[in-house]
């Protein structure tokens, strides 16, 4: 039954495809958008289109970037044989902010979570394994210390152990469930420096 007319229904349908947006939120957003000044709606849609066009995944580490390779992967003075696995691009940014890590990253874009239906195939693990087939000295697992982060760390360690690559996990000084993004730089540096061999 089409209560709203096809244009509004189409907008509600598109919005409800976004993560975390149920049908009620989609309706609320749709009516909010309809009531915005034309100019603001144009700016919103243009920003979405531009971001989608320009932002892409780094072809090496999978972080979000504007180019084929992100600035870290492009940098020849980084240690490309040391790879730190993080859950998302925000975690990468948190480590870059402390400015003491000289290796490169691998961004998973999520963590394994059976309760939310996120399995190993839903995060960038295949890309990680491809990279590990090359010349790698150390893999640092820096997923969050949440249940999902720990499950992901365990899964990766089982996958990587047989390769003989040195495998470490950041120290557990990072508070449980703590989003790396919100942890202060000293704690983050301590977690990195105190990483333990798996
Ligand atoms: Zn990269």
Q: What percent of the chain has pLDDT over 70?
A: 93
pLDDT, residue 176, reads 47
C-alpha 12 – ligand 1 centre gap (Å): 36
* Average pLDDT of span 125-130: 95
CA of 15 to the centre of ligand 1 (A): 30
Whether pLDDT at 2 is above 70: no
Q: What is the pTM of this model?
A: 0.76
Task: Let me know if 180 is exposed, middle or buried by CB neighbors in 10 A (0-12, 13-18, 19+).
Answer: buried
Is the pLDDT at 140 greater than 70, yes or no? yes
CB 73, CB 61: distance < 8 Å: yes
Report in angstroms the alpha-carbon separations of 97 from 146, 181, 182, 192, 196.
Answer: 22, 10, 12, 13, 22
Nearest residue to 14 (alpha-carbon basis) of 1, 4, 23? 23
How many angstroms separate the alpha carbon of residue 47 from the centre of ligand 1?
24
């Amino acid at each position: 039954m089409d209560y709203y007319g096809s244009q509004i229904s189409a907008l509600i349908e598109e919005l409800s495809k976004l993560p975390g947006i149920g049908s009620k939120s989609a309706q609320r957003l749709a009516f909010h958008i309809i009531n915005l000044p034309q100019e603001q709606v144009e700016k919103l849609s243009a920003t979405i289109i531009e971001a989608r066009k320009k932002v892409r995944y780094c072809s090496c580490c999978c972080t979000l970037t504007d180019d084929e390779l992100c600035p870290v992967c492009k940098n020849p003075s980084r240690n490309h044989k040391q790879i730190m696995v993080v859950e998302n691009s925000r975690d990468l940014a948190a480590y870059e902010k402390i400015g003491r890590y000289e290796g490169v990253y691998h961004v998973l874009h999520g963590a394994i979570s059976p309760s939310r239906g996120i399995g190993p195939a839903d995060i960038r693990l295949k890309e990680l394994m491809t990279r590990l087939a090359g010349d790698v000295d150390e893999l640092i697992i820096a997923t969050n210390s949440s249940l999902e982060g720990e499950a992901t760390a365990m899964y990766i360690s089982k996958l990587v152990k047989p390769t003989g690559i040195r495998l470490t996990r950041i120290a557990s000084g990072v508070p449980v469930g703590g989003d790396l993004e919100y942890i202060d730089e000293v704690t983050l540096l301590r977690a990195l420096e105190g990483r333990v061999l798996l």
